[in-house]
Amino acid sequence: MGRILLLILVILVSQINVQAHTFTIGEHDFFLDGQPFVIRCGEIHFPRVPREYWRHRLQMCKAMGLNTVCVYLFWNFHEWQEGRYDWSGQADAAEFCRIAQQEGLWVMLRPGPYSCAEWEMGGLPWWLLKNDKINLRSRDPAFLNPAVRYMKEVGRVLGPLQITRGGPILMVQVENEYGSYGKDAAYMGALRQALIDGGFDTPLFACNPQGAIANGRRSDLFQVVNFGANAAAKSFETLRHFQKTGPLMNGEYYPAWFDMWGRKHRTGPVEPIVADIDYMLKNRHSFSIYMAHGGTSFGLWAGADRPFSPDTSSYDYDAPISEAGWVTPKFNAIRQVLARGETPPAPPPQNPVMTVKPFELKEAASVFENLPAPVEDETPRTMEFYNQSRGCTLYRATLPAGPAGALTIKEVHDFAWIFLDGKSVGVMDRRRQSYHVDLPERAAAARLDILVEAMGRVNFGREVFDRKGIHGPVRFAKSEVKGWKIYPLSLDAQELASLKFGPGAPGPAFWRGSFQLEKAGDTFLDLRTWSKGVAWVNGHCLGRFWDIGPTQTMYCPGPWLRHGGNEIVILDLIGPRRPEMAGLEKPILDELRPALDFSRAARAGGAFSAGGVPPVIQGSFTSSDQWQEINFARPTKGRYLCLEALDAQDGKQTASVAELDALDAKRETISKAGWKILWADSEEHGDGDAENVLDGQPSSSWITAPGTVFPHRVVIDLGDGAEISGIRYLPGNIKDFRVYVSEMPFGLTPRN
Ligand code: GLA
């Protein structure tokens, strides 16, 4: 009897909760329980924060003055194996939402299926790529069916946490910046319907940067607009143009930016952020700071920018809450603005941080001596074909005795170290599209080993079709190398457990060491004497490291360490300069060491000359910040594309371009996957690299260096060449321009 009464009571209480809150979108405002409500939100990704620290970081968000957090779900984090969903441990999204609610925060949920976020394949599961005909992010049933199934699963797990049922979830996003990728409103409609069928009855929305709002737009999806510093007024004006009523909301406001290996550490000044947030608050615009707390892309989850620029493991983002959860000057400045209405709680105490005394890693397990059972194949194929999700793969074949010659591969994703009879002879590097290594003469048949490292799959643009490993064929001296053994190195717990360690060894190897602690605390492992690879502490994968920087340390959370003995394993694909380790009290996030890059991105030599080739078009860009499409009189074939800037909109000598696309005969954007910057007359290194015109990011630009003058030119090598019918240009400040297309590299000398 007592039990039944209790049950009735529980049902009654949950009913009260159901009626407790409502959230709606009105003519000018959001309404929470019938009252106008401004969403003061910040983004945080629970997989990027150790579960033990979720509450701490959410308390930090609350203390900054936020009333809501925005959360992506990365589909691949919850369905890494097809059909097997995981919502446990670090993947316990429901628990994260419950803690947010307990800490007085609402939740905006962004389940994907695509997310971007500098995350492996933008959150899409790798196994989709096993189908070589699949069309990602489209109505292709090979994509849509598993995506819809996943969206419904999200409904099952998180539907009960909607505000309509007493939970913290206010709104749910459909897809992510889809307008930057495609135009199919029916695709957005199918995903919207999947969420509704999955049981979501809160408002659904879509986000886009202002230039992409029109693409794939639907009036039954509320739109929000994404932008960085100094763009608020203009972006909201564009949003209002498309969405005549409703509150204005920013979906991602960038307080700085993410880092990529080999590129300068990004930071963003505090003043414009404070001014923008102040502006949004005064105008009752809602916003979401992306990121409020970036955290760390632990494991092998970091993604890569396009065409291929892998992201660092640190996702500090120069966000107001630092990677290790610390208060920063940006935090305090934002808190001050947000505290004007109501005083937020004080930030929770910082988690203890400690040093670890230097120690040596004495044991090693050579990759070559710890190979799993191979698969045999006539011609090597990508990892997905062998059902390998990620990690490294060793491809092995035999080369007969004979003269020296060139080893070439069509493409390798992403790095390939080449060994002949165990001796290192060269490296292939996707960043430079360099897939050519000269091999020496062989007196007898020799063992050819190609050790491929896959970094995270590209998370943005068409390049998300990023199959890893060797895209064959492999040729030596022009004939195809056949008869391969393929060894998958998945770098998972099972592989680590099977390693046989011995004394230190040169070449690619796992290294092992241990250290004692009196008391566990956060620390930053100093990787400066190591080259390139992956690190684990007590079985937790901390992520990838690379000596070229800018990140030189790895955030190691205290809860993953323990009193007494702790074990560290490091896979170094090149080998350490000294196999030692220490824990520091502060991270090193901004130390670039380009001299250590094994294949430094080198620009072509020589001087630019159009060589009598007339421009395919010349004209003037308009003074606007919108995409501008320039059509050629007729399609032109060529391998090299040059944009020549003659002057600037502001009359000064600096040229800048945010993005440059080429269009094919059907006026579709051509994939930039095989593209690279051949040359630019001038670049502000670190900040304004010419690669920024290829990265698909509106907020990063090629910027010429101070002291140089017009004309400014950037030359792109399209790899295979293409038939181009026009360009799309995202400003930028160029006024008058010319475009050249040629089969020849404009008198420049490409470096291999
Ligand atoms: C876009 C995406 C985000 C993230 C940012 C860059 O706006 O929507 O997921 O990738 O860029 O950090």
- Type of residue at 546: W
Q: Which of 118, 175, 177, 659 is catalytic?
A: 177
Strands laid side by side in the 540-546 sheet: 502-503, 363-366, 509-517, 564-572, 532-537, 540-546
311 CA → ligand 1 middle, Å: 13
- Across the range 121-148, mean pLDDT stands at 98
Is 27 in the active site? no
Q: Which pLDDT band, with edges at 50, 70 and 90, does 752 fall under?
A: low
- When pLDDT is averaged across residues 130-155 and rounded to a whole number, the result is 98
pLDDT at 1: 47
Give residue-wise pLDDT tens across range 207-264: 999 999 999 999 999 999 999 999 999 999 999 999 999 999 999 999 999 999 999 9
Residue (of 259, 252, 235) closest to 291 by Cα position:
252
Confidence check: pLDDT of 73 > 80: yes
Asked whether residue 7 carries a pLDDT value surpassing 60, the answer given is: no
Q: What angle (nearest 5°) sits at the alpha carbon of residue 692, between those of residues 119 and 596? A: 75
Q: Which of 302-306, 515-519, 687-691, 723-727 has the lowest mean pLDDT?
A: 687-691
pLDDT at 602: 65
Q: Does residue 512 carry a pLDDT above 80?
A: yes
Using the predicted structure, report yes or no on whether residue 557 has a pLDDT greater than 90: yes
Residue 484 CB less than 6 A away from ligand 1: no
- Write the pLDDT tens digit of every residue in 340-383: 878 999 999 999 999 999 999 999 999 999 999 999 999 999 99
Mean pLDDT of 307-336: 98
Percent of the chain past pLDDT 90, that is, above it, reads 89
In this prediction, residues 54-61 reach a mean pLDDT of 99
Pocket test for ligand 1, best of 137, 181, 227, 252 (most atoms within 8 A of CB): 252
Look at ligand 1, atom 10, and give the residue with the nearest C-alpha: 117
Identify the helix (H) or strand (E) that includes residue 285: none
Tokens of 527: 């990787």
φ and ψ at residue 673, rounded to 5 degrees = -55, -40
Q: Which residues of 592-623 are buried (b: 16+ CB within 10 A; e: fewer)?
A: beeebbeeebeebeeebeeeebeebbeeebee
Q: How many Å apart are CA 479 and CA 491, to the nearest integer?
A: 33
Tell which one of 177, 225, 259, 306 to mutate to probe ligand 1, the residue whose CB is within 8 A of the most ligand atoms. 177
- List, in sequence order, every beta strand (DSSP E) within 271-384: 287-293, 304-305, 309-310, 356-360, 363-366, 375-377
pLDDT tier, 16 (very low <50, low <70, confident <90, very high otherwise):
very low
177 CB within 6 A, ligand 1: yes
The mean pLDDT value of the chain amounts to 95
With helix as H, strand as E and coil as C, how does 491-548 read?
CCHHHHHHCCCEECCCCCEEEEEEEEECCCCEEEEECCCCCEEEEEECCEEEEEEECC
pLDDT at 388 over 50: yes
Check if 175 is active-site. no
pLDDT tens for residues 730-742?
999 999 999 999 9
pLDDT of residue 24: 98
**Atom 9 of ligand 1, nearest CA residue:** 117
Q: Can you spell out the DSSP letters for 542-606? A: EEEEETTSS--EEEE-GGG--SEEEEEEEEESS--SS-EEEEESS-------GGG-TT-----BS
What share of the chain in percent tops pLDDT 70? 97
Which pLDDT does position 17 carry in this prediction?
Answer: 46
Residue of minimum CA distance from atom 11 in ligand 1: 117
